[in-house]
């Protein structure tokens, strides 16, 4: 395995600590002098059953540092016993030199071409109950036909079939 061959100063696992892939990386780091850190985006205080709790504990104990994807994530991990002094918060960012909003005229053209009319409510992410999609759908239904609107949903997951039928 590449990690076991060594030659690294730092290994940053872009994996949640409670999943097997994160555990595999931490375990491969056991005989390495390289620093090890991982990133988490879990902002819900969860207690995982075995073996996930074992994976998380082993990864957390092996890591010299950890990165939270946001303030709520950082606070949740501290409450769950993650060492605050080894944690840092780093949000995801967008390179605004490479990605810019479309000009208003172009936005209107794109929306019209895909059958959307303002106001447009958009959701991009995993299509699961935990993301509150059912609440968003009920809120949009409550708006009803009195106000024209469009809902743009992009993602995949367990709720995809139900959303397509809606």
10-19, 43-52, 130-139, range with the lowest pLDDT: 130-139
For the segment 85-136, what is each residue's pLDDT rounded down to a tens digit?
999 999 888 888 888 888 999 989 999 999 998 888 888 988 988 888 888 8
For the segment 32-42, what is each residue's pLDDT rounded down to a tens digit?
889 999 999 99
Domain 2-89, what fold? Alpha-Beta Plaits (3.30.70)
Query: At residue 1, does pLDDT exceed 70?
Result: no
Going by C-alpha positions, the residue among 47, 45, 36, 48 that lies closest to residue 11 is: 36
Question: Is 0.75 surpassed by the pTM of this model?
Answer: no
Taking all residues of the chain, what is their mean pLDDT, rounded to a whole number?
A: 90
Per-position DSSP letters for 13-68, written without gaps between them: E-S-TTSHHHHHHHHHTTT--SEEEEEE---S---PPTTHHHHHHHHHHH-SEEEE
Q: Where are the domains of the chain?
A: 2-89, 104-165
Q: Residue with structure tokens 């002098």?
A: 33
């Amino acid at each position: 395995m590449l990690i076991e061959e060594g030659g690294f100063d730092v290994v940053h696992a872009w994996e949640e600590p409670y999943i097997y892939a994160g555990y595999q990386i931490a375990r491969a780091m056991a005989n390495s002098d390289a620093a090890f850190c991982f990133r988490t985006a879990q902002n819900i205080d969860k207690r995982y059953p075995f073996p996930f709790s074992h994976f998380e504990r082993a990864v957390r104990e092996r890591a010299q540092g950890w990165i939270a994807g946001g303030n709520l994530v950082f606070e949740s991990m501290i409450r769950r016993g993650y060492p605050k002094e080894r944690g840092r918060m780093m949000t995801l960012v967008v390179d605004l030199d490479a990605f810019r909003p479309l000009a208003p005229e172009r936005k209107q053209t794109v929306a019209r071409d895909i059958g959307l009319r303002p106001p447009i409510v958009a959701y991009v992410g995993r299509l699961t109950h935990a993301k509150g999609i059912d609440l968003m759908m009920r809120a949009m239904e409550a708006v009803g036909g009195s106000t024209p609107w469009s809902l743009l949903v992009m993602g995949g997951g367990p709720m995809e079939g139900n959303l397509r039928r809606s």
